[in-house]
Structure 1
């Protein structure tokens, strides 16, 4: 039986809607998983029921994580926040870790995982760091724009080998302070941590780039397959 993976919904407050990029679903399907968009809720009982039913959790991209969650005041250069999504994902992460269910975060998914575990974020990379790397690329998003360095003795090094990996990139926030429990496994040339993992769990990983936009590429499918395989476990 193919593993069922719950995907957190992307929120469009202006249109009062929830949506999902097809690449998330297509990428999971291509490597033997079934993706299901979850409802937007912070109901404790419903979230517990969701984690009990799914084989894994994928934290998708989307709007900015509220700075109040990491002890900062929101600056003008921070984007739109959705408190209910923040609460939902924070509780889902807690429940998934308690149950040792696989968790994979993409872009915002990496950021909320870092915050929930005690880390902090840059509210806007360009403003706060002056980085010259193209972290927020223009379309098309299925191409690569910069490299990250895969660190040795990490899950990503086991998958790709240590050294450079070309990635796509469309984010304006990123990890400022790495959560104490998280380990870095890929770093951009400006020092930004672009991939993390929790070593004591079956599979808890997150990346700052977007495999859902490049789901046909072998490196994206390898990464998604490692997650889906863990969900089968």
Structure 2
């Protein structure tokens, strides 16, 4: 069988040495986790317009939304909180657009950390912009010094959820690198895992072939934690079983033409200084 093509969105990064160059990049752990599970990672750069994203979604077998910086609060109707970290409006627009296109196409989706939050916002939900100041009962979800190893904590998983079928019912320990979290859950999503303080740690869409979001970083855990390897294997298997694949594999050329990408979107350059 042909390995499924899995799109992974990227972020702006600035090259550390001159001359200054803006890169479309993503930590290699996402690419490695998808590849080890049997998928073919396809990086989606910023600067692609909606028509180009439609062309990509039509050729992809799955979508992975990775971690990153904070989500622009105006997208869910709130003013910026004083402790909001850096945002990238261009990345927000692209990821929300491609998420909605992928949902419309019934494409399997795995959303991680920021991606879990983007999924919720794309469907009409909202976020806590800063957990420590907006959730007084919160445990530590991000190490105070970002140069230190990330925090970790237990999660409780809904035993009847798809997530529990994949990674087990828990409880289990996961890593934690975030200061934002789901506040109002979007219509169509259900919460399936929680931190000890009650914050939502995982969501899924029951009427979708495969749409899961988790607040932790399973790609950082796959080498030592079989449940996280199982999560990526389940995602890739769902992409392999995409009911659109037989039609697409019957064509002579699944490659993208330059014209398919449409006109370039307006871009800005900024360093990426945020969560993973």
- When the two structures are superposed, what TM-score results if normalisation uses the length of structure 1? 0.94
Q: Aligned pair 1:206/2:219, yes or no?
A: no
In 2, distance between residues paired with 1:82 and 1:171?
16
In 2, distance between residues paired with 1:140 and 1:26?
21
Which 10-residue stretch deviates more, 174-183 or 11-20? Answer: 11-20
How do 1:16-95 and structure 2 match up within 5 A?
Answer: 16-95=22-101
* Structure 2 partner of 1:6: 7
Q: Which has the larger radius of gyration?
A: 2
Q: 1:134 deviation in Å?
A: 2.2
State which of 109, 112, 133 in structure 2 corresponds to 1:103: 109
* Structure 2 partner of 1:163: 170
RMSD: 1.6
Q: 1:81 deviation in Å?
A: 1.2
CA deviation map 1:205-225 (0-9, x unaligned): 110000111121211110011
- The 4+ residue runs of structure 1 with deviation greater than 2 A are 10-18, 137-141, 160-163
Q: 1:131 deviation in Å?
A: 3.9
Which 10-residue stretch deviates more, 93-102 or 11-20? Answer: 11-20
In 2, distance between residues paired with 1:177 and 1:42?
30
Which 10-residue stretch deviates more, 37-46 or 69-78? Answer: 37-46
Q: List gaps (5 residues or longer) in structure 2.
A: 16-20, 242-276
In 1, distance between residues paired with 2:179 and 2:228?
22
Q: 1:226 deviation in Å?
A: 0.6
In 1, distance between residues paired with 2:42 and 2:149?
25
Alpha-carbon distance change, 13 to 65 in structure 1, aligned in 2, over 3 angstroms: farther
In 2, distance between residues paired with 1:226 and 1:56?
12
| Kept after mapping to 1: 8 A contact 2:120/2:185 | yes
Q: 1:118 deviation in Å?
A: 1.0
* Structure 2 partner of 1:232: 240
* Structure 1 partner of 2:252: none
| Higher RCO (Cα < 8 Å, 6 or more apart) | 2
State which of 194, 197, 200 in structure 1 corresponds to 2:201: 194
CA deviation map 1:70-114 (0-9, x unaligned): 110012201111111111111111111111110110000000110
State which of 136, 142, 150 in structure 1 corresponds to 2:142: 136
